[in-house]
Amino acid sequence: MNNENNMAIHLRTLTEYASIRFYLITHDPETHSYMMVLQYGQDGNLREYLKNNFNNINWERKLDNLQELSGRVLSGDEEYTKAADVYSFGTISYEIVAGFPPYPNIPHDKALAMKICNGLRPNIPFHIPKLITRMIIRCWDARVTHRPTFKELHEICGNTIVIVVQIKLSKNLGLINSTTTTPLNYQTHPQAIYISRLLNFSKLPKPKNEEI
């Protein structure tokens, strides 16, 4: 990362609203790793915030967050379509709307990696709006060319807000003003690890979608 890119990222984040402010990028002289210096989050990370507040977050706010998240990535590059980041967006979206992380009750090991390569995906709760469910499933498509672009994701999330408003007005489902009650006292397996670590899994199969 050169100084020009560093300053460009810094300037762009300083001029945009963000829930957590980004201050600077620093460099560890010993490990040569780059690190981001961020504002301290009183409520912890996203997962801890969802644990403590999920039942108080209504659908309007969830969908606004998804649209904002997709828009922020899109604003950096109009042609931004990196497949791995689209997959990650699907996973973050899943956690925001479901209230719990993927695969919390099984070890995060090579066996899980094999299952994911063979098409295993987290179960999406039935109460999630179908448009959001389809969006997340597309983000997780093993065929990277079938995943949506961030431009499309931004449009989908924007359209979802309109759809939810229409649902509320027709009194079919009151999703805007109601919260989704989800049991968040899930048990996390001691070998379910949600921190960055080196995974040296060799001879994994080529990813594919689950056979129906």
60 and 92 co-located in one domain = yes
**Domain count of the fold of the chain:** 2
Better-predicted residue by pLDDT, 81 or 114: 114
Residue 209: pLDDT above 70? Answer: yes
Looking at the fold, whether 91 and 32 belong to one and the same domain comes out as no
Using one digit for the tens of pLDDT, what is the confidence trace for 26-56?
888 998 888 888 888 777 788 888 888 888 8
The parent domain of residue 2 ranges over 1-42
To the question of pTM greater than 0.85 for the whole model, the response is no
- Look at residue 203 in the predicted model and tell me its pLDDT: 80
Q: Which of 73-87, 100-114, 185-199 has the highest mean pLDDT?
A: 100-114
Q: Which of 28-32, 159-163, 203-207 has the highest mean pLDDT?
A: 28-32
In a shared domain, residues 76 and 141? yes
In the predicted structure, residue 78 carries a pLDDT above the cut 50: no
3-state secondary structure the chain: CCHHHHHHHHHHHHCCCCCCCEEEEEECCCCCCEEEEECCCCCCCHHHHHHHHHHHCEHHHHHHHHHHHHHHHHHHCCCCCCHHHHHHHHHHHHHHHHCCCCCCCCCCCHHHHHHHHCCCCCCCCCCCCHHHHHHHHHHCCCCHHHCCCHHHHHHHHHHHHHHHHHHHHCCCCCCCCCECCCCCCCCCCCCCCCCCCCCCCCCCCCCCCCCC
